[in-house]
Amino acid sequence: MPTELSTHGWPQPERQARWAQAISDTYFPLTLEFATAQPFDGHLQRWSTPSTPLSLSRLRSSQLGYSRSKAHIGQDHEAFYLVTVPRSSEVHFEQDGQQLSCSPGGFIVERGDAPYRFHYGKQNDLWVLKLPERALKANLLGHKRYTRHCFDASQGLGRIFVEQLDLCARHFDASPAAARHLLLEQATATLLLALQQDQRVLGSEGSNLSTLHLTRVEQYVQQHLGDPELSPAAIAGACGLSLRYLHKLFAITPYTLGEWVRHQRLEAVHRQLRDPHCHLAIGELAFRWGFTDQAQFTRAFRQRYGCTAREVRAACAH
C-alpha cells in the first residue's frame, strides 16, 4: 500500500504544522506558506521501494506556497530533484532568477540543490517524481539547464512519461515487490528521453556551441552504447568533431569521455540485473552493453556500486 495521509480528521489548529512536517519528510526541508483567509485541506500518497531512491507522490491540497532556502539545503545528505506535473491548475516556479508558469498538460523540473519558490493560487492536484540529482547528472550533460523550461506533457514522450506515472500508481501494489522499482525506473527513463529530445534546452540562456556538441555526443553514445567499437575516435568522427576538441568538451563536465561512457554502460547493466524478467547471464549482459573484458567489468561494477553484479541480482530476487 502507498504511504497515505490526509488532513481530514486533523484539528484545524494542528493542520498547518503537521502538513508542513509531512511535506518536508516526503521531499526535503521546505517552508510552507499557507493562505490566511481559508481553512487548509490536503491529501498525500507516496509510492516507493527500499531498493531505489526514486519515489512518486500524488499531492492534493488547497492554495499553498513552498520555499527552499540555503539553510534548508544545508540539512541535506544528498541532492534531489523534483519533477512536478500539475493536474488541475497552474503552478508557478522561481529559481536562479528564472520564473516559470506551468499549466496542466506540462511539467517542470525543480533543483533541490538551489533555493527556489513554488506556489499555486487555488486547489491543485500534482504528480511529483523525486529522483536523486546523480541520476540526472549521470545521464544529462548540463543537467541544470533543464529547470528553465516547462515541458510538454500533452504529446510524445512527455505524455508517455505522465501516463507512466499514472500506471505506476495504479499498478504498484499489485506488482511483485521485486518489480516495483522497475515501474519507477521506467518512468524515469522516459523522462530522461523526453528531456534529452527537447530542442529548446540547446538554445536556452547559458547554452552555447559546446553544449550543442555535448548534446549531440550524448545522443550518439546512447544510441550506440552496446557497440564494443564505440571509441573516442568513432564518436568524434560520427559527430563531426576532432578528437582533441571532443576531449576538451568533456573537460567542462564532471567526467572524462571514457568515464562517462563506462558509467552509462554500468547503469544499463545494473538496470537489467534488477529486472526480474531478464534471465541473461551476467557475462552476456556485460557483453550486450559493450564490455569486452569480464574482469574489467567486474572491477568497474564493484567500484561503482560497492557490490558484485551477482549480489545485485540476488537481492532483487527476494
Q: Within this chain, do residues 60 and 182 fall inside the same structural domain, yes or no? A: yes
In a domain, residue 55? The reply is: yes
End position of a domain, from candidates 156, 177, 200: 200
In a domain, residue 134? The reply is: yes
In a domain, residue 76? The reply is: yes
Look up the CATH number of the domain holding residue 160: 2.60.120.10
Q: What is the pLDDT of residue 167?
A: 94
What is the domain range of residue 273?
A: 210-316
In a domain, residue 205? The reply is: no
Q: Within this chain, do residues 57 and 75 fall inside the same structural domain, yes or no? A: yes
CA distance 83 to 89: 16
Q: Within this chain, do residues 261 and 293 fall inside the same structural domain, yes or no? A: yes
In a domain, residue 285? The reply is: yes
- Our measurement of the distance from residue 206's CA atom to the centroid of its chain's CA atoms, rounded to an integer in Å, reads 22
Q: Within this chain, do residues 87 and 153 fall inside the same structural domain, yes or no? A: yes
pLDDT in tens, the chain (318 residues): 568 999 999 998 899 999 999 999 999 999 999 998 788 999 999 999 887 889 999 999 999 999 999 999 999 899 999 999 999 999 999 998 889 999 999 999 999 999 999 999 999 999 999 999 888 876 776 667 788 889 999 999 999 999 999 999 999 999 888 788 888 988 998 998 888 777 666 444 444 677 778 878 888 998 999 999 999 999 999 998 999 988 888 876 778 899 889 988 998 999 888 888 888 999 999 999 999 999 999 999 999 888 899 988 887 766
Q: In this structure, what are the phi and psi dihedrals at residue 60, rounded to the nearest 5 degrees?
A: -120, 130
Question: 90: exposed, middle or buried (C-beta count within 10 Å: 0-12, 13-18, 19+)?
Answer: middle
CA distance 93 to 160: 23
The answer to whether the CB of 243 falls within 8 A of the CB of 232 is yes
Look up the CATH number of the domain holding residue 240: 1.10.10.60
Q: Within this chain, do residues 18 and 134 fall inside the same structural domain, yes or no? A: yes
pTM: 0.73
End position of a domain, from candidates 200, 231, 264: 200
The answer to whether the CB of 202 falls within 8 A of the CB of 215 is yes
Q: Within this chain, do residues 43 and 85 fall inside the same structural domain, yes or no? A: yes
Q: Within this chain, do residues 182 and 311 fall inside the same structural domain, yes or no? A: no
In a domain, residue 94? The reply is: yes
Q: Within this chain, do residues 165 and 35 fall inside the same structural domain, yes or no? A: yes
Q: What is the pLDDT of residue 275?
A: 83
Q: Within this chain, do residues 63 and 126 fall inside the same structural domain, yes or no? A: yes
Q: Specify the number of domains making up the chain.
A: 2
In a domain, residue 144? The reply is: yes
Q: Within this chain, do residues 134 and 64 fall inside the same structural domain, yes or no? A: yes
Q: Within this chain, do residues 295 and 146 fall inside the same structural domain, yes or no? A: no
Q: Where are the beta strands (DSSP E) in the chain?
A: 3-6, 31-34, 42-48, 55-61, 64-68, 80-86, 91-95, 98-102, 106-111, 116-120, 124-132, 151-152
- Share of the chain residues as helix, strand and coil, in percent rounded to the nearest 5: 45, 20, 35
Q: Within this chain, do residues 189 and 215 fall inside the same structural domain, yes or no? A: no
End position of a domain, from candidates 200, 224, 248: 200
In a domain, residue 30? The reply is: yes
CA distance 243 to 307: 34
